[in-house]
Each structure stands twice: as structure tokens, then as C-alpha cells.
Structure 1
């Protein structure tokens, strides 16, 4: 009897376990898991849109993911002397979330969602056109995220398979080298170029989406980061020739920084991040990946950092006096100020009041140009930060749009962030031509096309006797005036190796001079007249941002980068055969 009872108990236990297994195998259709999504074409189309959504977070491009590279450059400084201070000074200890974690976190959200799409697209039946569009966009967005990660954090883990996240051994991945990351970026973008339609072919579908032109532009950037000038030049010349769609400079430089369908996704834009026009979104601010709301404002907070405290903003960042004086030193052919100053920095210039209604190459559309900012008439330059001073930044704010009269801090600004413009293609083509063939008329012509839009005199080849001389003009005149206060200057300084040459580093110190005198100081500063310079505090290796210490603690396979370890990247830079152009006065 005792044996019978034991046998019956065992049978009952087995039966219970089997019945539990049957229950666990049942899928609740009302509780769909992540990996259950994406098994149809329509679901994959939705998943791609979800990938785009993640480039609108604070750590990607809605705030610090955009401005952190600007403050790393030499034309923007941290006028509040807080919040961004460790990143302006390039000496973060690796324990501050704003730069050490947020950009890492949010860019990996883009990688994660892109990988889901890529893991599903091969198994779903659809037309070749749909397949190419879906896969091409996912490849582009993944490469965009890794481009950000590699240029911010140097050595980061590579995830290319969505199943990697299902196993703790693969989820806790080790660092890949920066070259390995860029190998993937180049591979992804090359594929995306072949799969995506051009903006012309894509029509309405292509508005705001990645196209083959966007992929080609970013591929050229990736190649130039590793000094592959010949390969990059071939891509750039194809873009200029129209192989990836038609691009040209807008007649008015300001159209690249205005809000609204008449200006955004224009003929100059290769790729931009889409934000809803001011006041058309919801009321909830979606700062991080976890507080997703159907009522999100769907704007950005770059304005809250760039605009002046006097005008209601946070006023954390300011343009450098060096950048202001670059604009002032060279007048347009009709004697006017460079119109790019108007759209880059918020300064009181009496000349603007007399430009109203006059059509010239400098201001081709004849719109009134006056000292009106946020619908207030200016009689002096507002301060970026009331206590410290600093020149307020106009780009990607309402300062020159004047759509609304007061700033609502947070994720509310609706000006799309143009991440790559055709002017960048032209100036990069000039740089590649100069690197390969030395100063030539071809390189000069590319530069002059950009200068002519601003009604500046053409450069003359005879004025540039060497590759170094023309490089100096491109790097420290043409690019900062065209792209001042935009994301990308810090990345330029990395690829040019300016941190690894004592003369170049000293030049950065001079460019980064500021005065803490409670005014928007526009003087040409020297070591004697400046309060300090962002670059005087630079620690070797901190041209990259450290990986957050808590992230390192949580992942036993991850090690710190050069910023975590205060390591000089100069020797490795030169071992690759790269060189730094000497300073040319």
C-alpha cells in the first residue's frame, strides 16, 4: 500500500508539472510581447517609426545629445558655469549622468529598436520596395546611433543581433574598438545607400525619412573620420552630381533654421530630426525612454540651453567671442554683415535696422531684418546668463523666427534640427580635394559656392600656397562660420587631431577664451583679458566622454575608455598614419 501511495503521488506530480507547462505555452493575445511584434509588413512599418521616435530623446537629439558636442567645440562655452561645466572643460570624472550616461542610454535604445526590425524583416513577405525601405531605414538609424556613440564614447559594445539581449552572456558585452564600430557603420550605410530611394524618388514618403542621400552623406562623414579621403571624396562627388537625389543650397541661409513646412526638409537638407511645430504637440514632456506618453510635446529643448536667461530660458550655453569676431572681420560684397551672424548669434547690431526690405545676395528674400527678438525690440545684446554673461545663440531657437513672444522651457521648440546640410557636402568635398591634390581651383570652387550664398567675395587660389594654408581656411574660417553652434564641431576637432598637437591645443585655448563679467562680451580676448578658457582644464583622453562608472560596475566585461583612464590618444592617432596640419597664421 505504501508503494502504491508513493507511485500515485509521483504520477500526480508529473501531471501537475505537465499541466503547468501547457499553461505556460499559452500566449495571451492581449499581452503581446516585444518579440511577438513585427511579423507583418504593417507592424514593421510601425516599428521603423518607433526607431525614429528614439532619436527625439534628450540623450539623442532633443537636448544634451545635440548640445554636448557643440559645447565640446571651441565656438560654444558653458556660460552658466554649471550643468555642462565638466563637459565644457573636458574633465568629467565619469560619475555625472548628463553626459556619461544619457547619450549612451538613449542611443542604445535606437540600436535596440533598429535591431528588432532587422531581425524580423527577412522573414516577412512583402514587395522588394517595402523590404528595401524598411531595412534601409533601420540600417541608417542604427549607424546614426553608433556614429554618435563612437564619437562620444570612443569604444562601445556592438550589438547587431536582437537575440543578443536574451542571454546575459551576450547582453553584457565587452567594448569593441572604435575602428570595429566604424567598420559596422560603413557597412550599414553602404547597404542603406543601395536600398533607400532618393528624396526625389521617395516623394512625400521621403519627407523627414532617411534616404540614400542621407546615408551617402553620413558615409562620407564616417570615412573622413578615419582619414579615408579618397573614398569619401568619391561619395561626395556622387552626391554633388545628383546620384542620390537633387540637393542645392537654399537661397536664404536662414531657411535652414526656420520652423514650418515651407522651410523644413528643404532642398539643402540631407537629414534632419523632426519636431512638431510649436504648440501643436501634447502637454507631456518625454525626457527619457521610460516616460512614453501619447500626449508628448514632441519638441526639443535645445532652445532652452541656447537662448538667453533674460528672455526666459535656462541660458546654459553661449557663443564664443572668437566666433563673433570671425563674422565681424569679413563684410559682404555690399558692405553688410555676414547674414550667418544674424542666424547664429543674438547680438544687437545697429546695421540690421537699415537692412529692412532691401534684397541683396546677403538677404535674398527681402524679409525685414531688425533687432527684434521674441517679438521684443532690442536696444542691446541680451545676456545668455545674467550672472556670468555670454552671447546668446540664435540657431534652432525662436530668436529670429519670432513665432512666439516668450520661451516655455523644456521640450517645446519646433525647429527641426538639420543634422546634415548640402553646404557640409561642399565644404567636405573641398577638404578632400585639398587633402588629395593640394590647393586647387576645384577645392576653391566648392568653398566659393558656400561663400556666395552669404554674398562674400570669392577666395582666390593664389592666396593659398599650400595644403596647410587652405586647410586652415576651411577648418577655422569657413566651417565655423557656416556651422557655428551646430552639432559636429567637436567631432571635427577629434578627426583633425587638434588635441594631439601642442600648437593646435593652444589654438583651441585661444578660441575658447571667455569673460565672466556679466555682459555679452564680444572683445577679441587674450590670455590677459580673458577670465579663462574651456580648454585650459582639458585632461588627456577627455576629448571623449567617460563611460558612466555605474555602467562599468554593472557590466563585468566592460572597461573604461581613454577618458575614464586619462589616457593620451595621441600615440594611437599617429600610429594609424594620421597627421595634424600645423597652424598657419
Structure 2
């Protein structure tokens, strides 16, 4: 592994601010002297959450890569950095700056989780109480590996605390199938030991682990297990304090975060607070409108990840989720203007609607909406319903139960900020298996728009040639299904450790 990863793996007891979680900075301490009680164990687990809430991970590098790789967001400002354009345009090289920073940060999360799991063995306390805390670390490790394996395929798998860098300097890749098996094992442990509820949604619960199990099984095409896990969450939603929020907009307002019952796991940022790249969130400016004067974010956004007009035109204007998800007006020189005029007020603006989920309400934030107070939802109850519907339709085509889950989401979408509409209509019984599958995938695209899910759907369903073909939402003639479903492994990793070669096909 490269030097950066070695350092991060060895330094993962550095615990920094992570929103609602109470913790103390513990510095870089030897595990045998640090782990004394459950509070110490929780502090180590919190370190993994802190590494998630960073610019190199959820604050920009991972999330922007996922946005641009899908077909719901394209490059807006053509003056933005080449590394972003290359991710978007399927022109990535193995030295792309997005992956060379995302990669070690992922292993920092894993390293912190491994330190906590190792440290748990050093604490002599009630096993049930200890397992309830260490299960959070198992979830964090599974969470990081689940993103890595979908992005890169075969990857180094480290499931132990690193005390000597030489133990990982010549590590080999683990086959993706084996990585998935390990992810499932970690999530099963987490499901068994995590509590039904937590003080904050930024700590995983039994339902969180179960929902991610359902997602993993769906990705692997094991539809029965995907349905079973999703159904477990649905059947126990009251016990887990889960439900669909009445107003879709409320999910994307930071001030509402503490009261929401739909999220299963959030990555929390503290507005105007950071330690280096930790705590630094750039999603509001990256998706915001260049030079906008609405006051949502001082100085407007950067117009980096912007939907194509195809995305806007394909989405019915009668769908409230479109209104919540897209910004179509802005203020320039004190006057309101439609998106067709955005480029008139900045030489780096574009005449397209912009993503609104993060820029419209950045909460407490700095210039351009940086350092927001968003609690980013990585999994919510709506997705559990979608997983259950898709998996059940594969098992029993056109099942009434599957249709019912989609209709729950559509019923919520008809609530336009307290005013009930008659669109989208319920799905009628009698729909064919193939038609229902297409409808469910479209429903995922709209319900979860810009929530970093679409690329993974394109990949698992092998939709690339359709999505990026001439009739797709974001045409890219150079999309290559033999290359582009995987990112390249970082080239500097491979040059330092020949055991990681060869790179993924086409790189």
C-alpha cells in the first residue's frame, strides 16, 4: 500500500468532531494504553464516522464522483478541473485526483473500524454492551468496503488493526466475490448486536445493518434474501422508529435533521466547522447556481455537477419531487431569472436547471455553502421500500405487494408541501413483470435523484449503453462496457506494490 494509506491506518485513533456524537480527541495512542472502557471504544468508532465526514469522502471526492459518473448530472462549468471532467466523460486515468484521494480515505475509515474491533478484545466489560458498540465498527467497515468493491472490483481487504506497516506493504487484491462475503458477514454481526434505535441517526441501528444487507443482496442478484431483509425492516418499522416523512422537501433541510424518521444512517457535518478536510462539505457549492444572489449560499454556487436538459424534460413537472430536487430560478442583479438565462450573468454559468437538494438549504455554512450543516442521508426508508418492490417483482412478477410499496412512495409524492395533488397516480394492478421492473427502476431514479445511487444502479443493471447512448439522458459515445463499469485502481498504488497489478481492464 502507498505511504499515505500506511500512515492513515496507523493513525486511526485520531477522533475529531462528528456532529451529534459526544467524543474527545484522543490523539495517536497505543491500543493497549487507550482502550479501557466502553467510552474509549465508542471514541474509536467515532473516528470512522469522522473520516466519512470529510472532503476526501462524503464532502466531495466520493459523492461528486458518483454524481458525475451517473446519467443524472453532467459537467456544467467546463472550466472546472480536468479530473472531474474525466470522471464524467469516461476518460479517467489511474492518476485521477478524485480516486487518488478517495482511495486512502476509504482505508482510513476501515482502519479506524479495525482499531475499534481490535480494541474491543482489550476491554473486560459485559459482552452484550460491548458488542452493541463494536457492531458500529463492523457496520463502518462494511459501509466503506461496499463502496470500494462496487467502484473498483477486486481490492485489498484488510480486516485487522495495523500496528506494523510492513504487514500491508505487499498485500494482494481480494476477489470482489470474497469482499462481498466479508461485507455480508460484518453486516450480519451488526444486525445481531446493534440496538433498535440510537440517540442519533449518525449511529447505525439494527435496521441500518439490515437495510444495507438488503442492498448488498440486491446488488448480487440474490432477490429472495434482498426481499427478506427489506421486509424485516418494513415489518418492524414502528420498533425501529421509521416512516416516510410526509413532505419530501423536509428530508433536505438541515434544521429538520434531528426530527426526521426516514433516515437509517446519516453522515453529519457541523456548519462552519472543520479540521483540515475533516468536516469539510462542498456539495452545496458544487451543485449550486453560479453567481446566484438568493442568499441560500453567500456568493452563489460553482455550477460543477448540473443535470442535462434531458433530465429536466424527461421528468414530469407535475411531480413534486422534481420541484424539490431541481432549482429552475435564481436571482441576478436583484431580479429573478429563469434557468434559460443563467449563462447571461456569468461566463461560467450554464442554462440548465441545477440540483437543489443540497444548495437550496445549506443550513449553517460558509462562503458558497461550504462547510454546511447537512446530515447527508446514505440510506432512507423509501429505499427499503424500493428494494423490497424490485426484489419481490423478480421473485413474483407483478406482485400486488410490490405495487403497494411503490404506491406508498407515490402517495407521499402527492403531498406538495401540505397541498394534496393527484399526481403521480397509483400503479394499477395487473402490470406485467417487465413493465413493473422498468417502472421501479425509474421510480428509484426519481425518488433517489442526486443521492449518489444512480451510478450503482446503472452498473448493477448494466444500463450503461442505454443511459449513455444517443437516446440516453447523458450521451457519451465513448462509454465502454468492458472498461467503464469499474474505476481504475490508483496507479501509484500499483507502482509501489506489484502484487496489486494488473489494473482493471482498459486502464
TM-score, length basis structure 1: 0.73
In 2, the alpha carbon distance for the partners of 1:55 and 1:402 equals 19
Q: Give the equivalent residue in structure 2 for 1:414.
A: 373
Q: Give the equivalent residue in structure 2 for 1:128.
A: 127
- Say whether the 8 Å CA contact 1:323–1:484 is kept in structure 2: no
CA gap of 1:122–1:373, structure 2 versus 1, over 3 A, is farther
- Say whether the 8 Å CA contact 1:62–1:411 is kept in structure 2: no
Which of 437, 456, 473 pairs up with 1:471?
A: 437
Q: Give the equivalent residue in structure 1 for 2:192.
A: 194
Report Cα offsets for 1:288-324 as digits up to 9, x if no partner.
Answer: 6xxxxxxxxx351111211111223221110122321
In 2, the alpha carbon distance for the partners of 1:95 and 1:375 equals 41
Q: Give the equivalent residue in structure 2 for 1:149.
A: 148
Whether 1:219 and 2:219 are equivalent positions in the alignment is: no
Which of 421, 445, 466 pairs up with 2:404?
A: 445
Which of 277, 301, 309 pairs up with 2:290?
A: 309
Which of 459, 463, 467 pairs up with 2:427?
A: 459
In 1, the alpha carbon distance for the partners of 2:322 and 2:398 equals 27
Q: Give the equivalent residue in structure 1 for 2:338.
A: 380
Q: How does 1:265-344 map to 2 (within 5 A)?
A: 266-276=260-270, 278-279=271-272, 281=273, 284=274, 286-287=276-277, 298-311=279-292, 312-328=300-316, 337-344=318-325
In 2, the alpha carbon distance for the partners of 1:545 and 1:472 equals 27
In 1, the alpha carbon distance for the partners of 2:335 and 2:31 equals 53
- Say whether the 8 Å CA contact 1:270–1:422 is kept in structure 2: yes
3-state SS in 2 of match to 1:379: strand
Following superposition, the deviation at residue 264 of structure 1 comes to 4.2
Q: Give the equivalent residue in structure 2 for 1:91.
A: 91
- Say whether the 8 Å CA contact 1:92–1:542 is kept in structure 2: no
3-state SS in 2 of match to 1:310: coil
Following superposition, the deviation at residue 508 of structure 1 comes to 3.1
Following superposition, the deviation at residue 375 of structure 1 comes to 13
In 2, the alpha carbon distance for the partners of 1:109 and 1:122 equals 21
Whether 1:257 and 2:257 are equivalent positions in the alignment is: no
Q: Give the equivalent residue in structure 1 for 2:23.
A: none
Query: How many aligned residue pairs are there?
Result: 458
- Say whether the 8 Å CA contact 2:266–2:377 is kept in structure 1: yes
In 1, the alpha carbon distance for the partners of 2:156 and 2:494 equals 12
In 2, the alpha carbon distance for the partners of 1:554 and 1:258 equals 44
In 1, the alpha carbon distance for the partners of 2:459 and 2:131 equals 34
Report Cα offsets for 1:396-422 as digits up to 9, x if no partner.
Answer: 22x2x3868x96147412121111111
Report Cα offsets for 1:147-177 as digits up to 9, x if no partner.
Answer: 11111111110001114x5152444311111
3-state SS in 1 of match to 2:444: helix
The structure that has the greater radius of gyration is 1
3-state SS in 2 of match to 1:309: coil
- Say whether the 8 Å CA contact 1:273–1:417 is kept in structure 2: yes
Q: Give the equivalent residue in structure 2 for 1:104.
A: 103
Which of 156, 169, 172 pairs up with 2:170?
A: 172
- Say whether the 8 Å CA contact 1:306–1:394 is kept in structure 2: yes
TM-score, length basis structure 2: 0.84
3-state SS in 1 of match to 2:229: helix
Q: Give the equivalent residue in structure 1 for 2:75.
A: 78
In 2, the alpha carbon distance for the partners of 1:75 and 1:126 equals 49
In 1, the alpha carbon distance for the partners of 2:333 and 2:191 equals 43
Whether 1:557 and 2:484 are equivalent positions in the alignment is: no
Report Cα offsets for 1:252-273 as digits up to 9, x if no partner.
Answer: 001110011x334611111111
In 1, the alpha carbon distance for the partners of 2:57 and 2:209 equals 18
Q: Give the equivalent residue in structure 2 for 1:11.
A: none
In 2, the alpha carbon distance for the partners of 1:339 and 1:415 equals 22
CA gap of 1:213–1:254, structure 2 versus 1, over 3 A, is same
Following superposition, the deviation at residue 128 of structure 1 comes to 3.5
Following superposition, the deviation at residue 457 of structure 1 comes to 1.1
- Say whether the 8 Å CA contact 2:470–2:476 is kept in structure 1: no
- Say whether the 8 Å CA contact 2:362–2:369 is kept in structure 1: no
In 1, the alpha carbon distance for the partners of 2:70 and 2:28 equals 47
CA gap of 1:157–1:126, structure 2 versus 1, over 3 A, is same
- Say whether the 8 Å CA contact 2:152–2:488 is kept in structure 1: yes
Q: Give the equivalent residue in structure 2 for 1:435.
A: 394
In 2, the alpha carbon distance for the partners of 1:147 and 1:403 equals 29
Q: Give the equivalent residue in structure 2 for 1:509.
A: 469
- Say whether the 8 Å CA contact 1:77–1:318 is kept in structure 2: yes
3-state SS in 2 of match to 1:75: coil
Following superposition, the deviation at residue 32 of structure 1 comes to 4.1
- Say whether the 8 Å CA contact 2:226–2:391 is kept in structure 1: yes
3-state SS in 1 of match to 2:469: helix
